[in-house]
Amino acid sequence: MTIYNLGSINIDHFYSVPHLPAPGETLAATAYSTGLGGKGANQSVAAALAGSDVIHIGAVGRDGAPMVARLRDFGVDCAHVIATDTPTAHAVINIDPKGENAIIIFPGANRTQSLSQLESAISAASRGDILLLQNETDLQVEAARIARAHGLRVIYSAAPFDAHAAQAMMPHVDLMVMNAVEADQLTRALKTPLAELPVAHLLITSGAQGATWRDQSTGAETNAPAFTVTPVDTTGAGDCFIGYAAAAMDQGLEPHAAMRLAAAASALQVTRPGTANAIPTWSEVDTFLAAQD
């Protein structure tokens, strides 16, 4: 099968800082680097490194060719990534010594997706393929509708969180992914208990507390613990988790096994600096899991 991903592509700018800046404070960074990022790109890289065939659908500016080349280096098909006159999205990421971060994103070309390009890409998909979506692009609802019409399974990450976007997506997705804070924000915004959210399945991640898969039709929950590691940089850990979980589902794993694999991948990822460049390979994750048994 194949994973399609309508997803963001960012140029990430990383600044190591002694602590996260307070309002009005000016800080001198102790280190600086750049790399491929964006929730979409990170998820595509994770799914590809986990062994799935991945086709990325997205947009960059004329300055984005190196990021597209990097995606290809990871084994992601970029035939449906278009170049626009809008600058490539970028993120400014401040990282403190404990690995916590504060991020500012310029959406750029991520908000200039092409509906015709999207339709062309998904028209080649097969029933049972997966479409990944996040909130860093436009055309999410349109993409989900097209994908469902072609028999694809739709996995939607409700991040960066927006209650209105999440509500609009719920009728069109098979699995909605949120962290615990986002889930609380959504239930409060909609004044609806978690168990009554109108979506087929929920995947709630809770950092060091692990993750929970909910079948909304039956109320059944599947829990998977997190792995204890010392973090260096937590940026993109959720994207790594989702990309690996999607690949595991694509390859036929049940929810508990998929979440365990994803938890191991994200545990490894946070022990390394960076976003896409920090995502581990399947063999690295397999070795890590073997050491836990």
Q: Residue 293 domain-assigned?
A: no
Whole-number pLDDT of residue 207 = 85
pLDDT at 208: 84
Prediction pTM value: 0.94
Domain-embedded: residue 131: yes
251/2 Cα distance (integer angstroms): 9
pLDDT score, position 274: 87
In a domain, 290, yes or no: no
Task: Calculate the alpha carbon distances from 134 to 7, 31, 155, 169 in Å.
Answer: 7, 30, 9, 10
- Is 292 contained in some domain? no
**Which of 235, 229, 236 is closest to 16 using CA atoms?**
235
Task: Tell me the C-alpha distance between 241 and 246, whole Å.
Answer: 9
Provide the domain limits for residue 117.
2-21+30-285
10-residue averages of pLDDT along the chain (293 residues): 97 95 94 94 98 98 96 98 97 91 94 96 97 97 97 97 96 97 96 96 93 97 95 91 98 97 97 93 96 84
Which CATH number fits the domain that encloses residue 73?
Answer: 3.40.1190.20
With respect to residue 205, please indicate whether it lies within any of the assigned structural domains.
yes
Position 276 in a domain: yes
Residue 121 belongs to a domain: yes
DSSP H or E stretch at residue 149: helix 140-149
Number of domains observed in the structure of the chain:
1
Query: Residues 162, 167, 169, 172: what is their CA dihedral angle, to the nearest 10 degrees?
Result: 160
Residue 34 has which token pair? 């750049």
For residue 90, being part of any structural domain is answered with yes
